[in-house]
Amino acid sequence: MKKKILAIASSGGHWEQLLQLKEAWQGHDVIAVATRFLYKTDIDAEKSYLVCDAHLKNYVALIKLAFQVLFIVLKERPEIVITTGAAPGFFGVMFGKLTGSKTIWVDSLANINKLSRSGKFTGHFSDLWLTQWEHLAKPNGPNCKGKVI
């Protein structure tokens, strides 16, 4: 049965790692959300949205990003939200959870010594919380099921 999946991440490494998971959503209706222009070769998505890039040091951009992601989640009503981070993924998981989506947070491969700030907070609200490093896995999450790269 086809699911509507929102795949959301910041550009750069977060986006590259999310693309490593695209086999998992083949055959489903995918809505891609990123902080840079998406090329058709990046992801086979039904729709794509461009959102602003934001971080904790720029509250105005964070508020704008929050509203952009909220609008997308309310408009698209995905059944599943999957992300590798950072700020766009945080808002995708939070708003997805509030609207009844199943949510998946895969912490970035770059966080070898500790979980990401957004992952530490968002993971507790995710239906599936994963780290790519065995030594960061905990009984109450995150879990380690391997690496995407």
CATH at 133: 3.40.50.2000
Whole-angstrom distance, CA of residue 133 vs CA of residue 75: 35
pLDDT of 141: 85
pLDDT band, very low/low/confident/very high, at 146 (cuts 50, 70, 90): confident
Whole-angstrom distance, CA of residue 79 vs CA of residue 4: 5
Q: What's the Cα-to-Cα distance from 67 to each of 25, 54, 64, 76, 85, rounded to whole Å?
A: 26, 12, 5, 14, 17
Question: What is the average pLDDT across 134-139?
Answer: 90
pLDDT of 42: 74
Query: Residue 58 is part of which domain span?
Result: 4-144
Residue 149 within a domain: no
pLDDT of 142: 93
Residue 40 within a domain: yes
Q: Total domain count for the chain?
A: 1
Q: pLDDT at residue 40 above 60? A: no
Q: Are 143 and 131 in contact (CB under 8 A)?
A: yes
In the chain the beta strands, taken as DSSP E runs, fall at 4-9, 29-34, 47-50, 80-85, 102-106, 128-131, 143-144
